[in-house]
Amino acid sequence: MTQEELDALMNGDMDMDDTATDSQDQAEDEANQKDVDPIVEKVESSELPFPATDENKMVHQLDDVTKESEEKASEIFDIIENISSDLMDKEESLNSVGEVLNSNIELFSTLCEKFPDVATFKTQLEKNETALNEVSNVIEILQNSGDSIMNVMDIMQYQDIHRQKIERVINVMRALSKYMNTLFEGKIDDEKRVASATHIAGDSHNDLASTDDIEALLEQFGK
């Protein structure tokens, strides 16, 4: 409550209901101000058209997009290839382990047949058979992972297609730009042209733009 509101309340010119209403309105206004998105406010307050800087040039930005996209895609392919190579190496190592386990299984199977009363041979046979099953499961997982990686690489091929589409748009835009420049070409250099008249007989207004105003306007659009 401000000092003025406090004086009015003491003099009887304001009651507590009015004070409560004013406080509530002030709180709502503050809440509404907090809800304003600073990004949206910045966009709405910005002047259009944007100045012709590198950040706002369309073809310049598209060139940056295609270049960065190609670089990142190449990095992703390198990482995927390394993962695929590691999976293949591990699969070969497990195949070697599987061969050893198969050899052990044959050995303990023969020993169990010749010495059925020796429990150790039977126990070792079961352990090797269990280990061989685990190795087979891991090999299957590695193979499925390798197939998934190949699918990812196939999907990544679309990135190159998208880059080609963007480059085609760039080429069309550049062709149109060159065509428009050719269309508006003149035989006289701009430096040799007569200055534009600021007021011509028959104009419906008498507001004359000075040379400084025109140069300032051109400088603004050329930024």
More confident residue, 90 or 208: 90
Query: Can you give the pTM of this predicted structure?
Result: 0.54
Mean pLDDT of 164-182: 90
Which two three-digit tokens encode residue 81?
């290839």
Mean pLDDT of 43-64: 70
Over the chain, what is the mean pLDDT? Answer: 78
pLDDT digits (tens, 9 = 90+) for 113-169: 999 888 999 999 999 999 999 999 999 999 999 999 999 988 888 888 888 898 999
Residue 92's pLDDT is what?
93
The runs of H, that is alpha helices, within 12-57 are 16-35, 38-45
Q: How many Å apart are CA 155 and CA 138, to the nearest integer?
A: 26
Instruction: State yes or no: pLDDT of 39 exceeds 50.
Output: no
Domain range list for the chain: 3-35, 58-182
| CA dist list (Å): 150 to 4, 86, 142, 157, 186 | 76, 14, 12, 11, 57
